[in-house]
Amino acid sequence: DQQVKQNSPSLSVQEGRISILNCDYTNSMFDYFLWYKKYPAEGPTFLISISSIKDKNEDGRFTVFLNKSAKHLSLHIVPSQPGDSAVYFCAAKHGSSNTGKLIFGQGTTLQVKP
Interacting residues with another protein (CB under 8 A): 4, 6, 32, 34, 36, 41-46, 49, 89, 91, 93, 98-102, 104-107
Identify whether the C-beta of residue 84 lies closer than 8 Å to the C-beta of residue 30: no
Q: Pick between residue 41 and residue 70 the one whose CB is nearest to another protein.
A: 41
Least spacing, CB of residue 14 vs another protein, in Å: 26
Q: Pick between residue 52 and residue 79 the one whose CB is nearest to another protein.
A: 52
Identify whether the C-beta of residue 58 lies closer than 8 Å to the C-beta of residue 65: no
Least spacing, CB of residue 98 vs another protein, in Å: 5
Q: Pick between residue 65 and residue 104 the one whose CB is nearest to another protein.
A: 104
Distance, first Cα to last Cα, the chain? 38
Q: 3-state class of 81 per DSSP?
A: coil
